A and B are shown apart, each in its own frame.
Chain A
């Protein structure tokens, strides 16, 4: 039986573009007081989710027969087409207005989707959305499905013993790498340490054109509107101000500037 992988992916505002605007002091918040509305900021797949898809593709390439489903809650933009062009089996859009949902609602829908398919052997998520940096949806999905959750993977290996699958994950921790073993089914979140995600090939792009995106509604998943009522509401977003009180240390040469700085740090007792 094929190993069933479900990858959860979302569309985000390009964090590098947001960052560049922020660095130039040109990041603006929209009239609603909570959205980043600059239309020049591209929308793309959350990079960690791209790496989660990459992890799934690597498992398949390692010789594990799998099915790879990529599911997104809300307007997927182009990310499901992108996923399809990478050679995954089924792109799925769960129709919902994400502006009216919180992480709790998104996780409920993702868990309900997995259940509607009779479960999955491995649910892959990104370590966090690069927009909100919350990193909670994966944990919530794991709990809703009653599955163990392994976070911040840099490598994932799947081994089959008879009919049962085992998952080995190398995770990046503050104390160094940690290798853990967990029986499937499990939820694993993928980090950037996994390495560069691949680009679609020309053939992949052509094949993706013919691939239909499956669309499902919350009602079809048996999730009632009441279950999706948000518990956390984003009411405001702002750009933090940084004080900026830097004292510039000068000198006629690099050595003089350096000596002045060291003298200053010693005078302030920062250095002895």
Chain B
């Protein structure tokens, strides 16, 4: 059977978005949607699955999977793939999945595509629209030539909708033998970035090269503080050392989805926008009225950010 499988680590990280997409694709292919949950699972698994029209939930629970480990996770999914048939296995593109997904594909001799933004089935042919050149272009990949595929989907722009008909799927525990599987990579040390993270912030004020100087990053931080939000940055100013790496938004930085994103002195390069295009409301401050950032913004102020930023701080406080 050519089933569609949505595979998530626990129930977080874009599961609802991916189940919505998976259900649409399974319907178009005239097949079933199965949800594989690896690692920690929640009580409301069956109800989430039912809402999204899932046929069955397969749980992979193992003492070796209480915290994520790449080697064990790949082995577990490879064993799962040997037991169960499917045509498409969709994963939300988390940091860990960027490695787990292609490794799994190689292990089970499947094809693989990452960075998916949309996925469609037309006359049985499956095509993935993915981002390329840091978001400057989109490419369409047709999946043909292998029996199975692992596809990494970026879920931040996907909608969550219940399936037209709800289901009451069984929740099954899949029996696997992971006794021979050990992590080959040992974590020796971690420098946890303490405190809140920009990925979870509801309000972000981001500064770019238009700030002109390291000392002016303070203006970004002051507005962020006045708004009860966090300060963020474009890559060049992180490279220059004006802001911490943990503040970097974009392709090689963090993917954020705040309610409000204020971009000051940022041009709007696609590699930056990848990390903030999902913001609910984007405000741009740039002295160039033609700057690309205004194409993404809901509100804009054309002007010198060195004047506008402190004025905004005053307006918020006053």
Residues of A at the B interface (CB closer than 8 Å) are: 13, 15, 18-19, 22-23, 27, 29, 34, 36, 102-104, 107, 127, 130-136, 139-140, 142-144, 148-151, 168, 172-183, 191-193, 229-240, 242-250, 253-255, 257-259, 261-262, 264-265, 268, 270-271
Q: Closest 8 CB pairs between A and B?
A: A231-B111, A143-B106, A258-B311, A139-B102, A136-B102, A231-B146, A254-B307, A148-B184
User: How far, in angstroms, from A140 to B74 measured CA to CA in the complex?
Assistant: 13
Are B311 and A237 in contact, with the CB atoms below 8 A? no
Q: How many Å from the CB of B206 to the closest CB on chain A?
A: 16
Interface residues of B (CB under 8 A from A): 70-71, 95, 98-99, 101-103, 105-107, 110-115, 127, 130-146, 149, 184-193, 197, 199, 227, 245-246, 251-252, 254, 259-260, 267-271, 280-281, 283-284, 289, 292, 294-304, 307-308, 310-312, 314-316
Asked if A175 meets B193 with Cβ closer than 8 Å, knowing A180-B185, A239-B137, the reply is yes
Contact B314 A255 (CB under 8 A): yes
B143 adjacent to A149 (CB under 8 Å): no
Closest chain A CB from B290 CB (angstroms): 9
Chain A residues with Cβ under 8 A from B112's Cβ?
Answer: 103-104, 136, 140, 232
- Tell which of A19, A172, A178, A240 touches B138, judged by Cβ atoms closer than 8 Å: A240
Decide: A176 and B295 in contact? CB cutoff 8 A: no
Q: What chain A residues lie within 8 Å of B95 (beta carbons)? A: 173-174
Pick from B102, B140, B192, B300: contact of A236, CB under 8 Å = B140
Q: Taking A148-B184, A254-B307 as contacts, is the C-beta distance between A234 and B102 under 8 angstroms?
A: no
Contact A176 B133 (CB under 8 A): no
Shortest CB distance B3–A (Å): 19
Contact partners of B130 in chain A: CB under 8 A: 132
Contacts A23-B269, A179-B190, A261-B299 given; does A133 touch B71 at CB 8 Å: no
CB closest chain-B residue, reference A192: B252
Bound CA span A49–B164, Å: 47
- When distances are taken between beta carbons in the complex, the residues of chain A under 8 Å from B190 are 175-179
B188: A residues at CB distance < 8 A: 168, 179-181
Q: Are A151 and B98 in contact (CB under 8 A)?
A: yes
- Is there an interface contact between B187 and A179, defined as CB atoms closer than 8 Å? yes
Out of B136, B145, B301, B314, name the residue touching A18 (CB < 8 Å): B136
B187–chain A nearest beta-carbon distance, Å: 5
Indicate if the CB atoms of A247 and B300 lie closer than 8 Å: yes
> B110: which A residues are within 8 A, CB to CB?
231
Task: Choose from A139, A173, A239, A257 the contact partner of B303 (Cβ within 8 Å).
Answer: A257
With a CB–CB cut-off of 8 A, which chain A residues contact B193?
175-176
* B292–A258 CB distance below 8 A: no
For B142, list chain A residues within 8 Å (CB): 232-233, 235
Q: Do A247 and B299 touch across chains, with their CB atoms under 8 A apart? A: yes
Q: Which of A104, A144, A246 has a CB less than 8 Å from the CB of B295? A: A246
Decide: A176 and B192 in contact? CB cutoff 8 A. yes
Return the contact of B199 from the options A134, A174, A265 (Cβ within 8 A): A174
- The docked-state distance in angstroms from the alpha carbon of A234 to that of B112 is 12
- Once A175-B190, A193-B245, A270-B281 are accepted as A-B contacts, the answer to whether A235 and B185 lie under 8 Å apart by CB is no
Docked pose: A27 CA to B301 CA in angstroms: 27
Question: What are 15 A-B contacts defined by CB distance under 8 Å?
Answer: A15-B134, A132-B132, A134-B113, A136-B102, A139-B102, A142-B103, A142-B106, A181-B185, A229-B145, A240-B135, A247-B300, A254-B304, A258-B301, A261-B312, A265-B281
A133 touches B131 (CB 8 A): yes
Task: Considering the complex, give the chain B residue whose CB is closest to the CB of A142.
Answer: B103
Which of A36, A177, A264, A271 is B137 in contact with, Cβ under 8 Å? A36
CB–CB A235/B136 < 8 A:
no
When the two chains form the complex, which single residue of A103, A107, A144, A248 contacts B300, counting CB atoms closer than 8 Å? A248
**CB distance B132 to A104 under 8 Å?**
no
Q: In the assembly, what is the distance between CA of A148 and CA of B270, in Å?
A: 32
In Å, the complex CA distance between A250 and B96 comes to 44
Cβ contacts under 8 Å, A148 to chain B: 71, 184-185
Chain B residue, CB-CB nearest to A141: B106
Nearest CB in chain A: distance from B110 CB, A: 8
Known: A19-B270, A257-B303, A257-B308. A178 touches B187 (CB 8 A): yes
**A246, B299: Cβ atoms closer than 8 Å:** yes
Please determine whether A246 and B145 come into contact, CB atoms closer than 8 angstroms.
no
Whole-angstrom distance between the Cβ of B28 and the nearest chain A Cβ: 18
**Interchain CB contact (< 8 A) of A238 among B137, B187, B296, B300:** B137
Closest CB of chain A to B168's CB: distance in Å? 36
Q: Are A23 and B292 in contact (CB under 8 A)?
A: yes
Q: Which of A23, A134, A193 contacts B268 (CB 8 A)?
A: A23
Q: Would B246 and A237 count as touching, CB distance under 8 A?
A: no
